[in-house]
């Protein structure tokens, strides 16, 4: 039986709920390790080099969480007292508990897009260049691909390339929150390196759809990573024989990327059952608007389908490695009756 699914329950609250497969656990158990603060863990190094290469960047840094990777990635392109612009429901703005302000001393301004998309003309109007002692200076634009709270929406590569071109013209940096960039890659066939090319710095997660128990990476220039390594240690994120966890990430890259297409198909099946147009579901997240969100969630739970409200009238349903076709069909059948 797959993780996230039992005889009685299908758990669709998040793609972070996966449990390591037996093969992943075996890879972890046999990982070569060393002290990573000394730079001596071969498995961590292999993972960092591999992920940097996938995105066409010089270096990468392994971190326990996507939040830490985002905080250090954004900090690498925004100084205290400067601002980053992002979409209003971006994870960095909504769900990192103010870390970018509290820890990095930077501010944010946001644009609103119902599907979390980049609205370049609006972003262009928001840009505040250096105006000395008058306004906060914009140092970077942050985009999220796929966009979690916008229902796993993919940001089109064309839009990202237009952002890159403009950002270079005006001298601001681009941060990409790629917690689920693998889903965007599989859904569109866009090379990871093409996503890498539009960003100065990225944060990518192994612990979402890829099914590793822990682990995210910041990806960027060698200089940015050297600096981030110091900041990571300062935040208490210097880990020792952590190859045992990095091995799960390497295993996930080998075995769990292409299968994301199954999660996307399961999400479309569930969307249809919930009366959501499957064409609007780009990847593995379904957002359902319900005035009765709390009772919808409660009733689904009574029928063995765990889903989560993300607002008073919004429910989020997420497919993942722990939900196979049979479980997705079971969940769809229950949700259709509600
Ligand atoms: C888009 C996005 N970015 C970053 C994160 C943060 O990851 P973590 O929970 O590992 O801190 C998440 C978590 O779900 C996310 O959805």
169-191 pLDDT tens trace: 999 999 999 999 999 999 999 99
pLDDT digits (tens, 9 = 90+) for 117-138: 999 999 999 999 899 999 999 9
The stretch 224-239 carries a mean pLDDT of 98
Minimal-distance CA residue to ligand 1 atom 4: 66
- Mean pLDDT for 142-158 is 97
User: What pLDDT is attached to residue 226?
Assistant: 98
Q: Is the pLDDT of residue 1 over 50?
A: no
Rounded to whole angstroms, the Cα distance separating 53 from 303 reads 45
283 in ligand 1 pocket by Cβ < 6 Å?
no
Pick from 16, 62, 86, 95 the residue to mutate for probing ligand 1's pocket: most ligand atoms within 8 Å of its CB.
95
* Cα angle 215, 113, 310; round to 5: 55
221 lines ligand 1 (CB under 6 A): no
What integer is the mean pLDDT of 202-210? 98
At residue 163, the pLDDT reads 98
Interatomic CA distance for residues 332 and 326, integer angstroms: 10
**Residue 287: pLDDT over 50:** yes
Mean pLDDT, rounded, of the chain: 96
d(CA 270, CA 133): 52
Question: For atom 13 of ligand 1, which residue has the closest CA?
Answer: 66
What pLDDT score does 7 carry? Answer: 67
Statement: residue 335 has pLDDT above 80: yes
The pair of structure tokens assigned to 178 is: 């790629």
Nearest CA residue ID for atom 16, ligand 1: 148
Q: What is residue 237's predicted lDDT score, i.e. its pLDDT?
A: 97
Does the beta carbon of 89 sit less than 6 angstroms from any atom of ligand 1? no
pLDDT, position 8: 79
pLDDT at 96: 98
Written as one string, the DSSP assignment of 204-233 is EESSSTT--SS-EEEEE-HHHHHHHHHHHH
CA atoms within 13 A on the CB side of 195: 33
Query: Is the pLDDT confidence value at 2 over 90?
Result: no
């Amino acid at each position: 039986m797959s993780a996230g699914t039992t005889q009685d329950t299908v758990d669709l609250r998040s793609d972070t709920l996966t449990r390591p497969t037996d093969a992943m656990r075996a890879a972890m158990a046999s990982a070569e390790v060393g002290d990573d603060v000394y730079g001596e863990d071969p498995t961590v190094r292999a993972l960092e080099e591999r992920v940097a290469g996938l995105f066409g960047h010089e270096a990468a840094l392994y971190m326990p969480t996507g939040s830490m990777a985002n905080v250090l990635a954004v900090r690498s392109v925004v100084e205290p007292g400067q601002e980053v612009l992002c979409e209003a429901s971006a994870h960095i703005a909504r769900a990192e508990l103010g870390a970018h302000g509290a820890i990095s001393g930077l501010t944010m301004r946001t644009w609103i897009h119902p599907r979390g998309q980049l609205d370049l003309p609006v972003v262009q109007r928001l840009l505040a260049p250096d105006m000395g002692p008058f306004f906060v200076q914009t140092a970077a634009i942050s985009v999220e691909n796929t966009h979690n709270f916008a229902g796993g929406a993919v940001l089109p590569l064309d839009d990202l390339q237009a952002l890159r071109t403009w950002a270079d013209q005006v001298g601001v940096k681009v941060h990409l929150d790629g917690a689920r960039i693998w889903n965007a890659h599989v859904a569109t066939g866009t090379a990871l390196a093409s996503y890498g090319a539009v960003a100065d710095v990225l944060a990518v997660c192994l612990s979402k759809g890829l099914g590793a128990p822990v682990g995210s990476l910041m990806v960027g220039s060698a200089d940015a990573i050297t600096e981030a390594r110091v900041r990571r240690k300062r935040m208490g994120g210097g880990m020792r024989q952590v190859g045992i966890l990095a091995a799960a990430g390497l295993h996930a890259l080998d075995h769990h990327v292409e299968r994301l297409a199954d999660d996307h198909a399961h999400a479309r099946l569930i969307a249809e059952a919930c009366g959501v147009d499957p064409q609007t579901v780009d990847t593995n997240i379904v957002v359902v608007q319900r005035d009765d969100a709390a009772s919808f969630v409660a009733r689904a739970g009574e029928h063995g389908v765990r889903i989560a409200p993300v607002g008073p009238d919004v429910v989020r349903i997420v497919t993942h490695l722990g939900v196979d076709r049979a479980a997705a069909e079971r969940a769809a059948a229950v949700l259709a009756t509600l």
